[in-house]
A and B are shown apart, each in its own frame.
Chain A
Amino acid sequence: MQTFHLISDCLRPLSRRPLPDCLNAVRRFLSVTAAAVAGLLPVMLLSSPAQAMNCEALRAAEGAQTISVHCGGAPSATFDKNNDVWVAFVSDLHVYVSHSQDKGTSFSAPVRVNAVPEDAEFNGENRPKIIVADDGTVLLSWTKKTSNRFTGEIRFSRSTDGGRSFEEPRTINDDGLAIGHRFDSLFLTESGKLFVTWIDKRDLEASLARSENYPGAAIYYTVSDDLGASFIPNVRVAHNSCECCRIAVAAHGDDDVAILWRQIFGEQIRDHAIAVLGHDGSVSDFSRATVDNWQIDACPHHGPTMVPASSADQYHMSWFSAGTIHSGIHYARYDLASAASSDIIKIDGTPGAGHPSLATFDGTLYLVWKGFDGVSTPLQLMLSHDEGRSWSTPQTLITTDQASDHPLLITSSDGVYLSWASAQHGYVFKELSHD
């Protein structure tokens, strides 16, 4: 493997570049025509027409600078203990937070998190994360892109006044290096331990400096037991992770978490590994969670999803692979004690299918993913009532023939909800469990 000139690249200063002038002309053009187009666009298959406001229509009605969940980059959502919905998204170099008291039908005016503009990453695998603790503290993490050479910092902020204002963002990676720290995940345990995990290139850079080979990157994490007031020093979970796939995090007991990530096995097999991370900074040895045999020296940009199963130490997993053993989206249930998977099931093998999200509620397992049939993107849903042993036939929740985000499933104390953004439908927040 060659060195990609990473160290020199990340020292190169990169300035923010102004928008091309012609963009403003296009915006003006669209704002004139969008009103006419808007009436044709929101052909919703879902039953809640109140959400059928896409960004284009919204900005035509309320101005081109409108900040809204419907215009936000890569939104993610969570419930607070009152079952209000909180959404974080990126708009114009700021992370914003907005909340809803009517399950996503209407949203509060967005509040800016970072006062100083910064390049918060937002795409399918990289998005701001949000959790609201039981005491109302709003917790956020995201990745700040610091160059175009895959460098970044893991950022954290919180609000202790119910989301009215946010603390100045802090950088969570503690190496002080202008290298890659990206693909953050955020998780709060039942007992209030706050975990941040991410993909880190400090070990890669150190190896390159010694002219040694280092496949991939590494997984790191930190924990806070005071809701983000302080964090323990960064802890390495594993060397040689894949560089560009989101990390799935799930509860392991009340205090700890299990994480699932794409790991490089051998020289270039990019399957998945699972490990348990302790709130005290202890890390279990990782085990191989999927055996797909995907030999690829490339960037899949396709991370897994994982939720706890009803038996202790068992996890429902769904992931994507193009390996020789498994290709397409798969489901399996992994048992930490025996280090074995059962009920490995191919969910969708078509090449356009990807980005699964899992949730459990009231004994039912929900799996949503994105398809593509050559023309449009259907969001597909499958259910299992027996812990993943058998599944319903897929049903299409909604379809778009425009750009769309990855679908996410969000669980509250009363149900499972779809969180999904698309150019056509705007931001859709929709209950799945009572249909």
Chain B
Amino acid sequence: MINKRFFSVLLSAAVLFGPAHPAVSDAAPADNIQGFGPQTFTAIKAQFAGKPFVVSLWSVDCAPCRVELDMLGQMKKADPDFPLVVISTDSIEMREDAADILDEYQLAGETTWMFADSFVERLRFSIDPGWYGELPRSYFYDAEHNMMAHSGILTEEKFRELFPY
């Protein structure tokens, strides 16, 4: 898919060659959004070596994702150490739109990721070769990094069932 603005190609170059956090306009909300590249998921898994964690994929354009972000924001608020990896499948060029939404669900303070390579098929594949790209999409990793996937809105009950840690 050709992503928004076509500058995404340039933006992927920005991630390769430039600072990890491009300077944004004055009105930009503070965020902790990192670029998600082809190697990022491997690095995230290494960061959680021997530990369980949850991955939640969302996009600015996905209405049902807001329900999940709302729940995740509340869970994170109740337990700041909750091992949560939130990845937006939008181009990182849309970081301000994403930051607005994350802020609304009290997730702006967390480190989260946005797709930072216009070849999105490769990024999706790096997360899960069996994922068709539908959103919201969640992954539940146990300490041995056995993975369970779920598509669609999760209730907190279902979430706890899939992630009893």
Contact = CB atoms under 8 A, between A and B. Distances in A.
Interface of A: 1-2, 4-6, 17-23, 25-27, 29-30, 55-56, 71-74, 91, 122-124, 148, 150, 243-244, 268, 295-302, 320, 322, 351-352, 354, 372, 374-375, 377, 401-406, 421-423
A124 B133 CA distance: 13
Interface of B: 1-11, 13-14, 17-19, 22-25, 27, 59-67, 70, 94, 96-97, 100-101, 117-122, 124-125, 129-137, 151-153
Contacts of B153: 297-298
Contact of A124 (B1, B66, B122): B1
Contacts of A74: 2
Contacts of B152: 268, 295-298
A244 B60 CA distance: 13
Contacts of A354: 132-133
B6 A91 contact: yes
Contacts of B13: 26, 29-30
Q: What 5 pairs between A and B have smallest CB-CB spacing?
A: A403-B118, A148-B97, A20-B22, A124-B1, A297-B152
Q: Interface residues of A: mostly helix, strand, loop or mixed? A: loop
A109 B110 CA distance: 47
A29 B25 contact: no
A72 B22 CA distance: 24
A73 B6 contact: yes
A403 B61 contact: no
A403 B2 contact: yes
A22 B24 CA distance: 9
B9 A374 contact: no
A206 to B, nearest CB: 17
B119 A403 contact: yes
A19 B7 contact: yes
A243 B135 CA distance: 12
Given A124-B1, A297-B64, 13 more contacts: A17-B96, A18-B25, A26-B14, A26-B18, A123-B3, A123-B4, A124-B2, A351-B129, A352-B129, A372-B121, A374-B122, A374-B125, A404-B2
B136 A29 contact: no
A82 to B, nearest CB: 29
7 contacts: A23-B22, A26-B14, A148-B94, A299-B63, A300-B134, A302-B132, A406-B1
